[in-house]
Copies of this chain bind each other. A is one copy, B any other.
């Protein structure tokens, strides 16, 4: 089974879960972890997510069939620069980043065979961080978006798709441009709005909030540096989404001023219907 040797660059929740799942589902698979904190790498090895680790990214990809970038997207350029010169000729590189245009551009710039880079975005994870939360079933039944560029090698694309399927995922292909637009609306914009909803509250209001508010703003508890990188990387789409949402809120405020009961009811019913229809039925473990 392919791959027999996987290098995971960044062994946190996502990277650690890939290691656990690869070792569970791929017979004989050897996993090397790269990171900058020995204690985290020791934990990852202790829980069986990786077989060995390196503190040097270039060393960690020696002999790798598949390299998976699992750090925050802000570190991708540095990592690709380090591994580009030493990758095996047949190695395929993929990633788990939340934005895709920039990593495809960086792969073109830094990798000797950019056609063997295949962007991936497994829609899984949580606001929790660190390999301590990693699970072999994190990706089970969740969706993975694969974002081939026009020059992506067809065989490499199939192999990366097969890898995520082996880990239990359902895959969907789209262009990096479409991915970034879509993820802005479905993930980055909700994150921004959740943070804004927290930002405008008084401490007293937060002290009496209930489960509804806590659910609505749960994602705002995510790591600030990580989300800053995502926001900046996808800033054109996100700023556009914020302005579309702003217009929707303005329209709603005007309907309230004018007491337009029927319009409000129609709008609320439509949102309720679409939200309930989006609830996963057969895939209860689907994740962010």
Contact = CB atoms under 8 A, between A and B. Distances in A.
Interface of A: 123-124, 126-127, 142-143, 145, 172, 182, 185-187, 189-202, 204-225, 227-228, 231-232, 235, 238-239, 241-246, 248-250, 252-253, 256-257, 259, 261, 264-272, 274-280, 286-288
A180 to B, nearest CB: 12
29 contacts: A123-B208, A127-B212, A142-B210, A145-B208, A172-B208, A182-B202, A182-B204, A186-B205, A189-B197, A190-B213, A191-B212, A192-B252, A194-B216, A195-B272, A198-B274, A199-B248, A200-B248, A206-B274, A206-B278, A212-B218, A212-B288, A215-B219, A223-B272, A228-B264, A231-B268, A232-B256, A235-B256, A238-B253, A246-B246
A232 B264 contact: yes
Contacts of A123: 208-210
A187 B215 contact: no
Given A198-B271, A212-B218, A213-B278, 8 more contacts: A127-B212, A185-B201, A186-B205, A190-B213, A193-B197, A194-B216, A195-B275, A199-B248
A184 to B, nearest CB: 9
Contacts of A267: 195, 199
Given A193-B197, A228-B268, A268-B228, A253 B248 contact: no
A198 B198 CA distance: 19
Given A213-B288, A231-B256, A231-B264, A186 B208 contact: yes
Copies in the complex: 2
A135 B40 CA distance: 43
B249 A199 contact: no
Contact of A224 (B145, B265, B279): B265
Identify the interface centre among A200, A208, A223, A224: most chain B CB within 10 Å of its CB.
A208
A44 to B, nearest CB: 24
A209 to B, nearest CB: 5
A143 B207 CA distance: 10
Nearest to A179: B208
Given A245-B197, A268-B224, A216 B216 contact: yes
Contact of A259 (B143, B227, B235, B270): B235
